[in-house]
Structure 1
Amino acid sequence: MTFAELILGAITLQRVGELVISRANTRKLLARGAVEVAPRHYPLIITVHAAWLLSLWVFGRDQPVNVVALAGYLALQCLRFWVIWTLGSRWTTRIIVLPELPLVSAGPYRFLSHPNYAVVAGEIAVLPLVLGLPLLAIVFTILNAAVLAIRIRAENRALAASRETLCVAHHD
């Protein structure tokens, strides 16, 4: 097993674990009365991310590892875990809104409105560079940016509607 395969294996397991956590959190939130917003673009997100990871396995599994880029990627993982920790049971890979809950404003959300997307954008660009694949970094950064443009617009609309509902509920 190459060092690149070890890294890719760890990342694949991490992503699968995150999908399990996301699915469990989604079920719990929906059971509490939450609603999913704009689910039509979700398969596109899954497709881009799966294609990214599959491309890394196909083209990068036997590549030498750039340790400087790897250090950057590991720093991004610290930020990813901070986001997940901050959101707790509200963290999902879907847009799930529970109107009676206020928006999270702690942790990385004090600095950015969408820190998870910033982390994901960094990961999609940096991991291919860890494996010496700059073309993959460029292609998937562009694809991810297109998907995130759709996603962030939908999420901002959902959060704004949730804030309005919360404000109305507090004024009654």
Structure 2
Amino acid sequence: MEGRGGVEIGKEHYMWIVMLHIGFFLSLWIETATRGYPVLDWWPFIACVLLIVQFIRYWAITSLGPYWNTRIIFVPGAHVVKRGPYRFMRHPNYMAVILEFALIPLLFEAYVTLGLFSMLNAWMLLYRIRVEECGLAKYTDYASVMSDCSRFIPKNPEEK
């Protein structure tokens, strides 16, 4: 996107997002390894929900096409994507991350990881989403296109 005049914002917090995810998986591994890798008896249900979450994530990624990346990069004047899950909510990929940070530790009964990293992830996403939405409002038609969508709760696009 930078080849098309893309502008990156939020560089200063990107390293912290990477560290958060590394810490999450290290914590999950340590917590489960020290407890003999327990798994919930109802793991098939959690696994099915995780598969649905992954479907939503990849639907979001493919809907964004060449605009998807892990950084916050905008092409000034570009139109906001409002197809796929973006018809129903503003941040389906972040919703998927929130659910993963809860469901994966739950699956392995890693309750310390679940609580600690769900809170850290919420704090990080609150900041990141504010930065991202400010950039979207500045560089794109985000305010007018997404005004009828909530951030995470799916909404019928036909409802007003």
> Hey, which bits of structure 1, 4+ residues long, moved more than 6 A?
none
Deviation at residue 119 of structure 1 after TM alignment: 0.8
Q: Secondary structure at the match of 2:133?
A: helix
Structure 1 unmatched runs, 5+? 1-28, 168-172
Amino acid in structure 2 at the alignment position of 1:76: V
- Bigger proportion of residues as helix: 1
Structure 2 unmatched runs, 5+? 145-160
Could you tell which deviates more after superposition, 56-65 or 111-120?
A: 56-65
Q: CA RMSD in A?
A: 1.6
Deviation at residue 33 of structure 1 after TM alignment: 1.2
What is the aligned partner in structure 2 of residue 91 from structure 1?
Answer: 68
Deviation at residue 139 of structure 1 after TM alignment: 1.0
Could you tell which deviates more after superposition, 63-72 or 135-144?
A: 63-72
Amino acid in structure 1 at the alignment position of 2:47: L
Instruction: State percent identity of aligned pairs.
Output: 37
Contact 2:31 2:113 in 1 (8 A): no
**Cα deviation digits, residues 31-55 of structure 1 (max 9, x gap):** 2210111211111111111101122
Amino acid in structure 2 at the alignment position of 1:60: T
What is the aligned partner in structure 1 of residue 13 from structure 2?
Answer: 41
- CA distance in 2 between counterparts of 1:75 and 1:46 reads 24
- CA distance in 2 between counterparts of 1:155 and 1:85 reads 19
Could you tell which deviates more after superposition, 63-72 or 106-115?
A: 63-72
TM-score, scaled relative to structure 2: 0.80
Contact 2:78 2:140 in 1 (8 A): no
Q: Secondary structure at the match of 1:96?
A: strand
Contact 1:41 1:150 in 2 (8 A): no
**How many correspondences in the alignment?**
137
TM-score, scaled relative to structure 1: 0.75
